[in-house]
Structure 1
Amino acid sequence: MNIVLVGYMGSGKSTIGRKLSEILDFNYFDLDDYIQSKEGMTISEIFKTNGEIYFRKIESLYLKEVLEIQNVVLSLGGGTPCYGLNMDMITKSKNSKSIYLKTSIPILAKRLEKEKSGRPLISHLKTEEQLIEFIGKHLFERSVFYGQSDLIINTDDKSAHDVVEEIIMTLF
């Protein structure tokens, strides 16, 4: 079985993914890291050099590649489920369960405020209000994709350990 974690940036996909893979003794993949290692460039460099259309094409290709591996915990980029047929590919994968780590806008804003400089998508936002509005707009647009997940787990007021435990109890 593969476990695919979806959710907005700051929802805990990487943290939960690593912990989950350790407990289950599964391989852990972060799709963005996987793409960077395969392409030999950062995501930003891929966008600058080849453009977004190229990036979305290879993102889909590498998603398919990782989904074919057995016993994987895979963390996706926040936008990955929203492009092309990516979410369709995930939901139709016979050996995969998708989990949406649902996190409220105030919690996401609080987490992301601390990491703004390291996240190009939000680094230009000056105020907390702008950040909240940006997150809200994105979540509204993406909710139709995230909502197709096999399992939705609300992460608000839960530790990473609690979320991992809930995933394991629900899936196994």
Structure 2
Amino acid sequence: MSIVLIGYMGSGKSTIGKKLSEIINFEFIDLDDYIQKKENLSIPQIFEAKGEIYFRKREHLYLKEVLQLNNIILSLGGGTPCYGNNMDTILNAENTHSIYLKSSIPILVRRLTPEKTQRPLIAHLKSDEELTEFIGKHLFERSYYYSQSNQTIVTDGKSISAIAEEIVASLF
């Protein structure tokens, strides 16, 4: 089985994925890290040197490649399910269970504010109000894709361990 974690940036995909990996002994793969290793460039470098269209094509190729593996936990970039037919690819992959880690806008703002400089998509936003509006607009656009996941787990008010245990209990 493969478990695919979907959600907005700051929703805990990588943190929860790593915790799940410890609990069920599946390999954890972050798709962005996988792409960077394969391309030998950082994501911003790929965008700058080759453009977003190139990146999205490679992202789809590597998503399909990783979904061929067994016993993995895959953390996607927040936008990955929304491009091309990536969500269909995930939903149609054999022995794959997708989970939308759903966090509220106030929680996402609180988590992302200290990390803004490390996240190019939001680095330009000056205030919490701008960040709140940006996240709200993005979640509205992306919720169509995220909500197609096999399962949704609301993460607000739960510890990393509690979320991981909830996932394990629902799958095994």
2-structure distance, mates of 1:156, 1:114: 18
Alignment of 1:126 onto 2:132: no
* Residue in structure 1 matched with residue 32 of structure 2 by the alignment: 32
* SS state at 1:114 partner: helix
User: How far apart, in 1, do the equivalents of 2:95 and 2:168 lie?
Assistant: 16
Instruction: Measure the CA separation in 1 of the matches of 2:68 and 2:31.
Output: 13
The answer for unaligned runs of 5 or more in structure 1 is none
Secondary structure, aligned partner of 2:69:
coil
Q: How does 1:141-160 map to 2 (within 5 A)?
A: 141-160=141-160
Give the partner amino acid of 2:132.
I
1:87 to partner: Cα distance: 0.3
> TM-score when scaled to structure 2?
0.99
Q: Number of aligned residue pairs: give it.
A: 172
The list of structure 1 runs, each at least 4 consecutive aligned residues, that deviate by more than 2 angstroms after superposition, is: none
Pair 1:95-2:121 in alignment: no
Tell me the C-alpha RMSD between the 2 structures.
Answer: 0.4
1:82 and 1:68 map into 2 onto residues whose CA distance is 20
- Structure 2 partner of 1:169: 169
Residues 98-127 of structure 1 show CA distances to partners (whole Å, capped at 9, x for unaligned) of 000000000000000011011010010001
Please report how far the alpha carbon of residue 78 of structure 1 lies from its aligned counterpart in structure 2 after TM superposition. Answer: 0.1
Partner of 1:78: 78
Pairs within 5 Å for 1:25-64: 25-64=25-64
How far does residue 94 in structure 1 lie from its aligned partner after superposition? Answer: 1.8
1:113 equivalent to 2:135? Answer no
Question: Which whole-Å CA distance do the structure 2 matches of 1:117 and 1:94 have between them?
Answer: 38
CA distance in 2, matches of 1:24, 1:171: 11
SS in 2 for 1:122: coil
What secondary structure is seen at the aligned counterpart in 2 of 1:115? helix
Aligned-partner Cα distance in 2 for 1:130–1:70: 41
Matches of 1:94 and 1:62, distance apart in 2? 16
Structure 1 residue 22: deviation in Å?
Answer: 1.3
CA distance in 1, matches of 2:136, 2:98: 22
How far off is 1:79 after superposition?
A: 0.1
Separation (CA, whole Å) in 1 of partners of 2:62 and 2:94: 17
User: 1:136-169 deviations in whole A, cap 9, x for unaligned?
Assistant: 0000000000000000000000000000000000
Q: What residue number does 1:137 align with?
A: 137
Q: SS at the partner of 2:70?
A: coil
Distance 1:58 1:133 in 2: 30
Deviation at 1:95, TM superposition (A): 1.0
2:14 aligns with 14
3-state SS in 2 of match to 1:149: coil
